[in-house]
Amino acid sequence: MSTTNKKHLAEHDFIGEVDKQFRSLEQTLSTFRSQITALQSQMRAVEKNTKREMKILKKLADKNRNKGNRKPSGFATPSKISSELCEFMGRESGTQVARTEVTQFVIGYIKQHNLGQSKEIKPDEKLQQLLGSTDEDTVTYFNLQKYMNRHFPSKNKKAKNVVVQASK
């Protein structure tokens, strides 16, 4: 073989080797790109899940946060009850009691005397007199407050009377 042929073969081998190295680098870069893309999508998924969990935890924390000692409101507010109800509960006349406490007492009385049959209440004479119900009335736990309402004088009765008189 001539020296020019040998030179030409050596150059050809060199070019082939460099070409192989470039292809190998391109292959490695392509692999890295796909791995980086996969890592980015995993990171986005973890970020999305983390934000969702943080939002849920924040809602729970806000809901469970101690809001301090607040005065009772609504049914939990103690109010004057009728003397008839005071007598039934064994309390002094003019006592202030919350509706929730009265309801618990009445339900306890119903259970103690076996007056409740599933959802319906069959009042005895004493409870019937307290509720102001008749034998034809169907008393249930659901409508019990309707019958108890007469034992809680409205604070707005005076205001309603004033408005009615003023409009006449």
What is the pLDDT at residue 53? 96
The span from the CA of 157 to the CA of 81, in Å, is 14
What is the pLDDT at residue 159? 43
- How confident is the model over 57-82, as a mean pLDDT? 77
Return the CATH number of the domain spanning residue range 75-155: 1.10.245.10
Instruction: Please tell me the least confidently modeled range out of 72-76, 92-96, 107-111, 139-143.
Output: 72-76
- How confident is the model over 7-14, as a mean pLDDT? 69
Q: How many CB atoms lie within 10 A of CB 103?
A: 15
What is the pLDDT at residue 29? 94
What is the pLDDT at residue 162? 42
Half-sphere exposure of 17 (CA within 13 A, CB side): 6
What is the pLDDT at residue 21? 92
The span from the CA of 125 to the CA of 3, in Å, is 129
Where do the domains of the chain lie? 1-62, 75-155
The span from the CA of 159 to the CA of 1, in Å, is 124
What is the pLDDT at residue 44? 97
Name residue, tokens 């005076």. 158
Instruction: Please tell me the least confidently modeled range out of 2-6, 110-114, 156-160.
Output: 156-160
pLDDT tens, position by position, 18-59 = 889 999 999 999 999 999 999 999 999 999 999 999 999 998
